[in-house]
Chains A and B, each alone.
Chain A
Amino acid sequence: MKNIIFIFLILLSFVFSNCSNGPKRILINPEKPFEKLSQYNFFKGELADLDPVDRVLPYDLNSPLFSDYAHKSRFVWMPEGTSANYTEDHVLDFPKGTALIKNFFYNNDETDPAKGRRILETRILVNNGDEWEGLGYTWNDEQTEAIYNIIGDIKEVSWINPEGQNQRVDYIIPNKNQCKSCHAFDNVSKPIGPKVRNLNKDFTYPEGTMNQLEKWSETGYLTGMENIANAPAVAVWDDSGSYDLHTRAMAYLDINCGHCHNPKGAANTSGLTLEADSEVGLPLGVYKATVSAGAGTGGHTYSIVPGNPEESIMIYRMKSDNPGAMMPEIGRRMIHTEGVALIADWIKSMDPAEFSGGTVETLN
């Protein structure tokens, strides 16, 4: 059946490629990815401008996953006549054929946007109906094209950070198997970010600023949202003016750790659940002894020691850049200083008296 559809799509593409003046069709077959990013027709004009064609909609998240200070420019596309169903429980129920297009780039100089940027990779997640397929495209140095690449790469990147300091990292483009390291839920690949609570924010479109969920509804990409006022929103992890410390910390853990540290994720063997709605106690790591943290303990006993970030394994692993000790295990080479500070402040704010240090009689 799949093959018939595929042949039909190819046939369609032949029909359409004959009308050279008509709009370029977006066609995605995850089983036969295009060699070049430009072949998908997501963008018009210069590819590096990432200027989306009609119905390729840019979006943003309240709290994103940290990726070595890279910026991410995200887009969503759904086949004509289809839409995602509203749900507050998990990632939106996207229709088959949906593509999430994520471009990773560094601004050459964060203090001066005029100095341009360097795009390193574009990841396309395509919903094939059963699960999501990850297609990786690595940009050339000339920034004219990105080429399909399953084995990933290591790219040296230099830039100037907002404080005016020179930064450098060996940026790692993951290989195809590694997609699942983060994206597997019960061994099935799924997106991580686009949940209602993470999409519920304003975005500045060329036509003006609008709430993303409303924009998606208006575009026909989202059905079933009854009232935007009732839609949940996760905290913006670095907006201390609008959200309290606990909420920001939970939002940060949710997007940076929760994709593995959930009961059906890759890190379920640890027994640690780091999701926005995790109970503040043992599941979150409070006075939780490690099982197989390896070098990751840093000499500490518990994942979180209330009031004492320096004695907490969680902080130790966030502050490490040793591949055998650090968390997350992949997708990071640098230490997210601001993220560490947030979680350390949060642990410091916990009152040890509120947590029991044990449920058993102790020897010591």
Chain B
Amino acid sequence: MKSYHLLFIIAASFLFLLSCKEGSKTEVALSVENLQAELQKRLITAEAGDKIILPAGTFSFKRSLSLNDTPDITIKGAGKGKTILSFKGQIEGAEGILAKNVKGLTLEGFTVADSKGDAIKVQGCTNVIMRDLETTWTNGKLATNGAYGLYPVSSTNVLMEECEASFAMDAGIYVGQSTNVVVRNNYVHDNVAGLEIENTRNGEVYKNIARNNTGGMLIFDMPDLPQANGDRIKFYNNLMENNNGENFAPKGMVVSTIPPGSGMIIMSHSNIEAHDNIIRGHKTLGIAVNSWLFTGVPFESKDFDPYATNIHLHDNEITDTKGPSDNTTEYGQLITNLLGGEAYDLIIDGILKPGEPSSYCFTNNGDITFVNLNAGLGTALEDMTKNMNNDLSKFDCALPDFDTSEHDAWLAGM
């Protein structure tokens, strides 16, 4: 008899629990007293739809914080610089916060400081909003700082806005192998790379500011990755200014080759339109367009397209590009040796995809200095010395517009 009674209670409580699970939107506010002890627990026990609210204050963590699988999670602090999650004493975990496989993730209103590796990594997530976040390392420009500040990777539908990222020894904002991305109104400074878009498809990057990085904004395709190539990125109304900071990336990383004084570098990524950007005050180059082949680094993937094709740069304002150019990095030394220390507004390696000679169009960028290294005819220094030219006229063309509207429906629904 007793058992039946219990059975009934258990069944009833299960029904109750089930009904709760459907569409529940619980708001959990953590307090200054319990945040440190409770936050990770909340991230583990979170149910779909939970909103975890963090108070203002500085909170230290010895271990990474992680979030997996549970859909529709919001973590919201009192604002960047107000809610500070400090990982100064971190002994475990390769990132400050790691979110994996979350469908519907909003991270908003907090700072992550001094993580041992990446500050905030969002991997394999869908419908991601990263808003009003800050990532930084507080001891200045050190090779021992973490690599990436804000790092969405292999994710779909990503909006990053009103964030600030500084002192990353790789990129402040790094969008890797993602699809449908909007990056707007962010401020990146004092990183090696301010903002980097890598192997990403269908993105818009606008109204961002990059200052005092080694390189302001990069659009790279890297070989031998699951998402083999990037495609269709629009860059507009951004400001890249005085990105002349020392390159403090550890040797061996791709970004360690970025010469201080680089405004914007496009490498191997295809279908890029950059317009109405202001790029000023760089000591080595305003904009560079290169093929992966120019790096000389081998790759194996047959799916990887090493060429930058369909690059359309128009109506940009590139000013105050003034040497002496960088002589501290391999690429900087090469340019300095070739060009005698003079900085150029636009430098291309000239390694064009065979059969597509007019895949670059550069128009209406003002009275700019330009050099085509013509390295397609030979990558040895003496080849380039012989073959390089300043003929911008053959790139006076227009490319058809491409469609980046895939994210519009998602953005509109927010």
Contacts and interface: CB of A to CB of B under 8 A. Distances in A.
Given A10-B7, A180-B100, A359-B299, A324 B117 contact: yes
Given A324-B117, A358-B296, A359-B300, A177 B43 contact: yes
A33 to B, nearest CB: 13
B252 A290 contact: yes
| Residue of A170, A291, A297, A299 most packed against chain B (CB within 10 A) | A291
A3 B91 contact: no
B41 interface: yes
B252 A324 contact: no
A10 B10 contact: yes
B176 A269 contact: yes
Contacts of B62: 154
Interface string A345-364: 00000000000111111111
Contacts of A181: 66
B116 to A, nearest CB: 4
Given A150-B41, A297-B251, A14 B117 contact: no
Interface stretch (A54-62, A83-91, A97-105, A281-289): A281-289
B100 A330 contact: no
A314 to B, nearest CB: 12
Interface string A236-270: 00000000000000000000000000010010110
B99 to A, nearest CB: 10
Decide if the interface of chain A is mainly helix, strand, loop or mixed: loop
Contact of B250 (A271, A281, A288, A298): A298
A269 B300 contact: no
A323 interface: yes
B338 to A, nearest CB: 12
A294 B101 contact: no
Given A323-B117, A324-B94, A360 B146 contact: no
Contacts of A281: 300
A301 interface: yes
B144 interface: yes
B41 A291 contact: no
A294 B170 contact: yes
A298 B177 contact: no
Contact of A362 (B44, B92, B93, B379): B379
Nearest to B227: A269
Interface stretch (B21-29, B156-164, B209-217, B218-226): B218-226
Contacts of B174: 292
A159 B115 CA distance: 30
B298 A359 contact: yes
Nearest to A178: B66
A280 interface: no
Q: How large is the interface on A (under 10, 10 to 19, 20 to 34, 35 or more residues)?
A: 35 or more
Interface string A3-15: 1001100110011
Given A175-B40, A359-B300, A3 B63 contact: no
A228 to B, nearest CB: 38
Contacts of B298: 287, 289, 356-360
B20 interface: no
A315 to B, nearest CB: 13
B185 interface: no
Contact of A292 (B44, B147, B226, B297): B147
Nearest to A270: B225
B100 A266 contact: yes
Contact of B379 (A266, A293, A363): A363
24 contacts: A7-B10, A151-B40, A170-B91, A184-B100, A269-B154, A269-B225, A271-B224, A281-B300, A288-B224, A291-B198, A294-B146, A294-B147, A297-B250, A300-B251, A323-B93, A323-B116, A324-B147, A330-B64, A333-B91, A360-B293, A360-B296, A361-B379, A363-B379, A364-B296
Interface of A: 3, 6-7, 10-11, 14-15, 150-152, 154, 170, 172, 175-178, 180-181, 184, 187, 263, 266, 268-269, 271, 281-282, 287-295, 297-301, 313, 322-325, 329-330, 333, 356-364
Q: Which 10 A-B pairs have the closest CB atoms?
A: A294-B147, A358-B298, A297-B252, A362-B296, A324-B117, A324-B116, A299-B251, A329-B94, A323-B116, A177-B66
Given A154-B62, A295-B146, A356-B298, 19 more contacts: A172-B91, A176-B44, A177-B43, A180-B100, A289-B223, A291-B198, A292-B176, A297-B250, A301-B252, A323-B117, A324-B115, A324-B116, A329-B94, A330-B93, A359-B298, A361-B379, A363-B295, A363-B334, A364-B296
